[in-house]
Structure 1
Amino acid sequence: MDQADIPALLSRLASDEDAARKMAVFKLQSSINDPAFADVFISSGGLIILRRLIMSTGGNTLAYSLQSLSRLLEVDMGWDIFEGPTAGDLVERVVELIVTNPLVNILRGAMSILVALVSHSQSETRNGAMRTPGTFGFRALKPAVAVYPQFFDLVIQQLQSADHALCANALMLINALIRDAVSSEATASGTNGTNSNSNGNKSSVSDEWPKFIRRLQDLGLIKAVYNLMQSSALQDLAYPLLEFQSLTKVLLRKWREVRVDLERPEHRRALKGLHLASAPNRDYMNGVAKVEENQEPGKKGSRRHNPEKWRRLGFETEGPAGEFEAAGFLGMMDLTDYVRKNEDGFQKLLLEQSTKPLRERCPIARSSLAVTLILYDHFDCDKTGIEDLRGYQLSDGKQQDKLYHPLLLQWSRLHTAGLQSFFRLWKATGADQSDFDKVAELVRILVDQAVGTAGRSKDVLEVEDELLEFDCSRLRELQMELLDLSFDDNWGHHLNQVRDDLRKESLSFVKEQRIRCLLQGAWFSKPTPSKESRNESYQNRRAAQGTVWRYAKLSHNRRWLHFSDFALRTGHDPGLEVLDEKVDLSRISSVVSNVSTTNDDARSESNKSTLRTPMMNGAGSGPSKSTTKITIFSFSNPEDASKPGGDGKEHPVLTLYPLNHSVASEWLDGLLMLLDQAPITAETQKLISLVGDYGLKIRLLNVRMEAAYSGPPPGAGVVPSREGLDAEYYYQV
């Protein structure tokens, strides 16, 4: 719409005819977000007419009017409408519409206006002039909310609306109210120049925001937002949900920063409630001590406190306020909440612990504070909310789901489940007081596993069950895996070089071991060929005698592989002089085998059982049938194979049938390593790794603490003086 048409538009907006006003305000809502148009509209007195429409009309005319004001505020203009003596009536009118009007289009516009009104409190000046106190922010709503006390309840009810835009506006309004309440407290504290724990008016200011937050929580805010986070409406509610999640972290951080001070009535009541819920001894509860054994007869007992009044609850000292320093008031809230909801279990646990020696008792209070800090660190409560919103803008659809942490809103239930898991692990591990940090570390790993891996839609009940029933042995495995990862992060670059050196040494060691197996010699089976495969060139003498054994042995100079066939396996191994055939290792071209190169322990055990090494057999007996074989090839003419254009044809010169998998691994890898080739069987690789691991452990055992921190021995690195030395002396570094 052209700016020249503004006078005619204003005339129609001020008309007594509802149809004319409705059409005019309908056009206004589509043009007023243009700053140039809005400036002329305001200077022409348009705000007065727009205010009159909001105060007196209804139906679509009212909806369009609210939408027009909302869009005007979005361009940071029109704030004058909330200043002056009539501003309170306008705010009360908007609040009234939220409470009494059921139309969705009116509710959306009204909540959008209140979001802008509350959020505008962040800026302290307008056009260089100071603003009237109470004009914007939550303080601007207080008079209207006093008239309509059901306002907050109805706003939270809109979080269950099927209209996603209305739901988003309601959540943005709640976010704005929480943000303003927290920031107002911080501003008041900074202005007064004192901390939030001071007495007097400053204390009442710091107590205002927790009361407001508790009021919203009592109305079902947490449950409503938790359901939204697990719903399928994330696309329309992404920004307000992530903002609420960030504000939740801000609130947790602020509660932790509040120091527990026994001069504050609320803190005194919380500690007194803990003491009374523990069902203390009546004599001590009344302040009358029992008569001690060393007390003189006839002397009345003096009035004093139980000497273990707080230590029996799991505190380290009798001054519990100082032990909340790390967790702050957040730790006290979690502990009192657990005791209030599980009072019977709390008393039974105290009674059970009282029967144990002091060293073996699980400190309940310390455990609760430890779980609070574990959850605080797990959810990165010190992380700013801007990072979550920036992560949402930069991530794609698959990664955005990981930005939501609905379990953060179930803080109290997670704390209770985590604390009960602490008690379970304490009992299962047989821990004592000196093991407290170790159990806490196990709980930290448990929380990371159960809570950290839970998807957005996973119900909190399932997470609670996992925390309470997680297998202790599996938890121990996870801890060892994390320790390995941590060790590799810190020492991996140092150990990798050591491992490389040790692998070379272990490879050389295993090579020598495998070659020694060849030098020792071994028996192999030799299957008798079938009648069809026999011909005149075959040695009929051996076939007739049933030569089913073959013995092979490496010569001492490691240049020849001697072998011979036998009909019977002799009780002693034959010597080299008996073996009448041999293979020149320098003429070997390749070694081929069907030996498995994978780590198949089952097959290995099967081979060991079926391919047993027989002792001395009779003439008609032979070895078990073996399907594993090693074939040694050689070039027909090595000189031709080495020349360019040579045929390089290979032919088998020796075939060995090992009796079991171990012999096959020894001889196959031994022959390969003898030819300066790498071993290939899993058994040899396992042996190399085993030798390397033992070498690493031995080296680590030689590293002593004093060697790492005591420095070099005296005199190390000192260059001797040349005084009194002749010219022939030299010093080699």
Structure 2
Amino acid sequence: MDAHDDPPSVSSLLLSLTSDSDPTQKLAVFRLQTLLHDPSFADAFLQAQGARALRACILDSQGNTLAYALGSLNALLELGVGWEAVDSNVIARAVELAVGGGGLVNIVRNALTLLVLVVSRVPDGDEGEERVYETAATAATGFRAIKPALDAHPEFLKSLVGRLSASDHTLCANALQLVNALMRDAVLHGGESEWPKFIKRLQDLGVIGGVGMLMRGEAAGDASSPLTGAILEFQGLTKVLLRKWRSVGVSPEIVEHKRALKTVHLLSRPERFAAPAERPQGEEGVIGDEPPAVPRKNSRKQHHPTKWRRLGFETESPFWEFDETGYLGIMDLVDYARRNESAYHSLFLEQAAQLVEQRCPLARASLGVTLVLYEHFEIDETADVENFFSSGAGGGHARGVSGGAVVGRALKPLLLQWGRLHTAALNAFLRLWKLSGAEAEDFYKIEELVRIIVERIIGGADRKTEVGKIEEEFRTVSLETARAWQMEGLEEVYQDAWDLHLEAVREQLYHESLQFMREQRIRCLLEGSWFPTTISPVAQNGVDAGAVQPPSSTSRFVRLHPNRQTLHYSDFASPTSTDPSQYPEIDALPLILDLSAITSVDSNVSASDTPPAPAQTLARNPPSSDTLTRIPSKPASPSTSTTLTILGSLSAASPESTLLTLHPQTTDLASEWLDGLLLLLDQQPITKATTETIDMMVNWGVRLRMLNLRWEDVDWSSLEKRVRGEGDGERELPDREGLDDDFWYA
């Protein structure tokens, strides 16, 4: 019989299938693999008792004949027929081949596929005429159907997990499909105490590492690969397991739950506690005196009054505190205590020396991190267990997934590293608590920062990112970085939701900030400043002018009158004092320039001549309205000369001319006087120092509004001092006295 002939008849195939000649039998089952995908041919084959002949071939043949026979049976089972050929002997044979393989990869692949179909089978209530051969042995489905064979091969699960690292991707896919089928059946049909044990056994054998390696491999990015479908199914099952663990309520009536909490307590290495001795009748203790830790005679062991609150629970009855996280919360807390036993113990020793309100409630923090991760990975968006499987997401065969880029984004290898992510995020929580000096009332603020860090670090990772890199980022992220991310997130959220409203807020804040800077600049003019009366000879167009003219020692003092209507000035041989409190008074300045005569102010100060330093100082300390403000001076470049020329007309008939010329010695002084004069003339400021400070205050104001801080709660006097350059040495550290529950930034 030639492979290229027309399709043979069922009778001729059955005759070849039962032949004693191995080549004849091999060719028959080879052709059957393809022909049995046709439902009409499959029906004819079964009616001719082909299932029995195929079963016999599987039990008696070897090599490629065996591989093709398994493939033919799989083709029947995929159509939902042929189950009469699957009995305990066939299942035992498949398990044996899956462990050993007989030296051929295609035998192992087909044996694994057969076991997947058996474990994944959902019995139909109406079996029909073609199920008359089904026996009690084949009626069992799921894990129960293959358990007797697995008992005979205890190394089966270890071998199965080991197949996940095989170089043959189809073999990996088939092995992972069987892992998925076993997990699925354990969750659906295993008892409440059985399925967690089976899942843990798989995890102990290394299934997480094996699948994680596949997820990061090149094959997982191929949307058409059967491996991709199996990986996505495993990821979905992981979410189902997390959801199921969360749905398990924690109860003091369950021994395993009580044991888990006891583990958390004992790993903290608590000091031994004895109830205080009874005082003799009539004896009163001194107020504030601690009773001696001596047990009563013949008394029972007493419960420490802060046994559970010491660990970070809110009460001494911690079971109810797992209502939101369920058993998943206990699992994570126990896992953290075991992973970090030394640091876990040291934390409580350190906290014993702190005030109660300054201690980070570790247990609450652990439960909070569990919920943060749960929400980040959108666990609740996975359908419930039954719906997940019945919808086809858990079918026995991996299916191709369209769109390689979509698959790359859908795969989340970090989800499989739940325990390590929980540990890293909880350590970040503890570190941020300490860095920020947080107290009990700040718990939810730190929790929100951790939520933002999780979104940034884990959410920003791609499919190939190693969990070690994620852990390192959690260890090194600073409080300032976390807060910057928080502000960026707030801006994005509010910009999307309140775009028009924020524009109105920005407009309002701009006018307020401009008014503030107007007052600050004008107050600098009211204080007055010294100016040289001539340009320094060092810098006349870059040429040393010292040989041309001698330097002038005369100085001009200019001051704005308190009525803000006139400028008063006079020339002096030298500055009388550099102390603002000793500056010349208005009466000592006989020369007067009426502001109404000024038409414009000309200057060679450009927008890039003034530095952005004031914006940084303002961001840390805000302004007062009753003291003078002066931005720290920056010396002007020795190669340039700054000149302010005040132009105007002394009468309506006279042409515009120069009324006064000033030579500021620093760029900041130039900014103060140039913008101050412009603002007095109801014009817009133009220097970089002023405009950047206004922009900074607008942005800061918007952020304060987004954080729901009240503007009047800001320490404006502190900002004013920073703007003036005061307190640049050792700064007084702010305390938290008087602050409410709104977030506060140092």
**Do residues 446 (structure 1) and 453 (structure 2) align?**
yes
The CA deviation string for residues 363-399 of structure 1, in whole angstroms up to 9 with x for no partner, is 33223222222222222221227899899946543x5
Contact persistence 1:250–1:381 (CA under 8 A) = yes
Structure 1 segment 14-413 matched on structure 2, within 5 A = 14-74=18-78, 77=79, 79-83=80-84, 87-101=87-101, 102-121=103-122, 126=127, 134-185=139-190, 205-235=191-221, 236=225, 237-282=227-272, 284=274, 289-293=275-279, 300=297, 302-308=299-305, 309-384=307-382, 393=401, 395-397=403-405, 400-413=407-420
Partner of 2:562: none
Partner of 1:475: 482
Q: Which amino acid aligns with 1:353?
A: Q
Q: Which amino acid aligns with 2:95?
A: V
Contact persistence 1:290–1:301 (CA under 8 A) = no
Deviation at 1:162, TM superposition (A): 1.0
Q: Distance in 1 between matches of 2:151 and 2:477?
A: 50
1:497 pairs, out of 480, 504, 510, with 504
Deviation at 1:662, TM superposition (A): 6.5
Deviation at 1:228, TM superposition (A): 2.1
Q: Distance in 1 between matches of 2:425 and 2:281?
A: 45
Structure 1 segment 305-704 matched on structure 2, within 5 A = 305-308=302-305, 309-384=307-382, 393=401, 395-397=403-405, 400-488=407-495, 491-501=498-508, 503=510, 595-596=606-607, 600-601=611-612, 611=636, 626=640, 682-683=688-689, 685-686=691-692, 688-689=694-695, 701=711
Contact persistence 1:111–1:170 (CA under 8 A) = yes
Contact persistence 1:593–1:631 (CA under 8 A) = no
The CA deviation string for residues 237-288 of structure 1, in whole angstroms up to 9 with x for no partner, is 322112111111111110111011222222233233334444455565xxxx
Deviation at 1:107, TM superposition (A): 0.5
Evaluate the alpha carbon distance shift between residue 681 and residue 435 of structure 1 in structure 2; reply closer, same or farther with a 3 A threshold: closer
Q: Report the TM-score when normalising by structure 1.
A: 0.69
Partner of 1:643: none
Q: Counterpart of 2:122 in 1: which secondary structure?
A: helix
Deviation at 1:44, TM superposition (A): 3.0
Q: Distance in 2 between matches of 1:434 and 1:99?
A: 58
Partner of 1:565: none
Q: Counterpart of 1:206 in 2: which secondary structure?
A: coil
Evaluate the alpha carbon distance shift between residue 584 and residue 415 of structure 1 in structure 2; reply closer, same or farther with a 3 A threshold: closer
Q: Which amino acid aligns with 1:247?
A: L
Q: Which amino acid aligns with 1:336?
A: V
Deviation at 1:347, TM superposition (A): 3.6
Evaluate the alpha carbon distance shift between residue 388 and residue 252 of structure 1 in structure 2; reply closer, same or farther with a 3 A threshold: farther
Deviation at 1:156, TM superposition (A): 0.9
Partner of 1:559: none
Q: Which amino acid aligns with 2:410?
A: L
Evaluate the alpha carbon distance shift between residue 281 and residue 510 of structure 1 in structure 2; reply closer, same or farther with a 3 A threshold: closer
Partner of 2:585: none
Q: Which amino acid aligns with 1:98?
A: A
When Rg is computed on C-alpha atoms for both structures, the one with the higher figure is 1
Q: Report the TM-score when normalising by structure 2.
A: 0.68
Evaluate the alpha carbon distance shift between residue 598 and residue 23 of structure 1 in structure 2; reply closer, same or farther with a 3 A threshold: farther
Q: Counterpart of 1:108 in 2: which secondary structure?
A: helix
Q: Distance in 1 between matches of 2:57 and 2:503?
A: 78
Percent of counterpart pairs with the same letter? 43
Structure 1 stretch displaced more, 375-384 or 107-116: 375-384
Evaluate the alpha carbon distance shift between residue 419 and residue 501 of structure 1 in structure 2; reply closer, same or farther with a 3 A threshold: closer
Deviation at 1:165, TM superposition (A): 0.7
Structure 1 segments unaligned to the other structure (5+ residues): 186-204, 529-542, 552-567, 613-623, 633-652, 704-733
Deviation at 1:352, TM superposition (A): 3.6
Structure 1 stretch displaced more, 370-379 or 496-505: 496-505
Q: Distance in 2 between matches of 1:452 and 1:172?
A: 28
Q: How many residues align?
A: 626
Contact persistence 1:111–1:169 (CA under 8 A) = yes
Q: Which amino acid aligns with 1:171?
A: L
Contact persistence 2:634–2:668 (CA under 8 A) = no
Q: Distance in 2 between matches of 1:608 and 1:432?
A: 40
Structure 1 stretch displaced more, 96-105 or 388-397: 388-397
Q: Distance in 2 between matches of 1:426 and 1:510?
A: 37
Q: Which amino acid aligns with 1:595?
A: S
The CA deviation string for residues 589-611 of structure 1, in whole angstroms up to 9 with x for no partner, is xx998934587549999x97665
Q: Distance in 2 between matches of 1:302 and 1:345?
A: 34
Evaluate the alpha carbon distance shift between residue 258 and residue 11 of structure 1 in structure 2; reply closer, same or farther with a 3 A threshold: same
Evaluate the alpha carbon distance shift between residue 177 and residue 514 of structure 1 in structure 2; reply closer, same or farther with a 3 A threshold: same
Partner of 1:7: 11
Q: Which has the higher contact order (CA 8 A, sep 6+)?
A: 2
The CA deviation string for residues 682-703 of structure 1, in whole angstroms up to 9 with x for no partner, is 3453365367679988996489
The CA deviation string for residues 86-122 of structure 1, in whole angstroms up to 9 with x for no partner, is 6222112111211222321100111112222222228
Q: Which amino acid aligns with 1:332?
A: I
Deviation at 1:454, TM superposition (A): 3.3
Q: Counterpart of 1:63 in 2: which secondary structure?
A: helix
Contact persistence 2:216–2:464 (CA under 8 A) = yes
Q: Distance in 2 between matches of 1:416 and 1:434?
A: 23
Q: Which amino acid aligns with 2:478?
A: D
Aligned Cα root-mean-square deviation (Å) = 5.5
Evaluate the alpha carbon distance shift between residue 328 and residue 128 of structure 1 in structure 2; reply closer, same or farther with a 3 A threshold: farther
Contact persistence 1:595–1:629 (CA under 8 A) = no
Partner of 1:198: none
Q: Counterpart of 1:19 in 2: which secondary structure?
A: helix
Evaluate the alpha carbon distance shift between residue 678 and residue 472 of structure 1 in structure 2; reply closer, same or farther with a 3 A threshold: closer
The CA deviation string for residues 201-220 of structure 1, in whole angstroms up to 9 with x for no partner, is xxxx2112111111211222
Q: Distance in 1 between matches of 2:675 and 2:333?
A: 65
Deviation at 1:154, TM superposition (A): 1.1
Contact persistence 1:168–1:240 (CA under 8 A) = yes
Evaluate the alpha carbon distance shift between residue 302 and residue 353 of structure 1 in structure 2; reply closer, same or farther with a 3 A threshold: same
Q: Which amino acid aligns with 2:277?
A: V
Deviation at 1:222, TM superposition (A): 1.5
Contact persistence 2:276–2:296 (CA under 8 A) = no
Q: Distance in 1 between matches of 2:83 and 2:520?
A: 93
